[in-house]
A and B are shown apart, each in its own frame.
Chain A
Amino acid sequence: GAGVSQSPSNKVTEKGKDVELRCDPISGHTALYWYRQSLGQGLEFLIYFQGNSAPDKSGLPSDRFSAERTGGSVSTLTIQRTQQEDSAVYLCASSLTGGSDTQYFGPGTRLTVL
């Protein structure tokens, strides 16, 4: 069956612009996660959704970052007024119910801020 998909696969933007990154989780998965992977760094948790609610937003680095999930499915991560330090690979994962369920990752969106 289809896995987690993300779009775009690559995004190059200028400093100060806003970007939207999209995640389509596996159908039926109620839990959705966003992570960020910078060069030489481990994956850094950003936000967790259970259904359309975000009980844990503790990893969002600043108020320029926001995310929403609609219909218990697609999620969008928005970065406003992008900065060069936002350059990273943004990864989305979903799991059946959360908890210790296996997280299935998408291929990521590589964001480059010039």
Chain B
Amino acid sequence: SQKIEQNSEALNIQEGKTATLTCNYTNYSPAYLQWYRQDPGRGPVFLLLIRENEKEKRKERLKVTFDTTLKQSLFHITASQPADSATYLCALELTGGGNKLTFGTGTQLKVEL
């Protein structure tokens, strides 16, 4: 069966450290993968998109890697801050998937002082 798995347990890290979140998928052939941030009571906010032929993408303190052999994406936040505390979602658009996104359940990140 098709699955997108993210760490269901919350990730607690200390301010200034690098947070690394994992997204694993099975039985999908994604054209690209996106990462979103969701705060309580709000809709997701787009952060980064990485295509199947890209290995790494960076934006300010954010870095995403995409390994289609391992079927895994890693999302890194460097120099983390308490304001980075949120739930982070990965989403796949499938090749020929008609524009819809399939989301993981998200990982809650808490950055502590």
Q: A residues within 8 Å of B by Cβ?
A: 4, 31, 33, 35, 40-45, 48, 50, 55-56, 58-59, 91, 93, 98-100, 102-108
Closest chain B residue to A95, Cβ basis: B99
Considering the complex, give the chain A residue whose CB is closest to the CB of B100: A45
Contact with A along B79-113 (1 / 0, CB 8 A): 00000000001010100001111111110000000
List B residues at the A interface (Cβ < 8 Å).
Answer: 4, 31-32, 41-46, 49, 51, 89, 91, 93, 98-106
Cα A31 to Cα B101 with chains together (Å): 13
A91 touches B100 (CB 8 A): no
List the A side residues contacting B101 at CB < 8 Å.
Answer: 33, 43, 45, 103
Determine which residue in B51, B93, B99 has the highest number of CB atoms from chain A within 10 A of its CB, and name it.
B99
Question: Chain B residues with Cβ under 8 A from A55's Cβ?
Answer: 98
Given A42-B102, A43-B103; 6 other pairs, CB 8 A cutoff = A33-B100, A43-B44, A48-B98, A58-B100, A105-B43, A108-B43
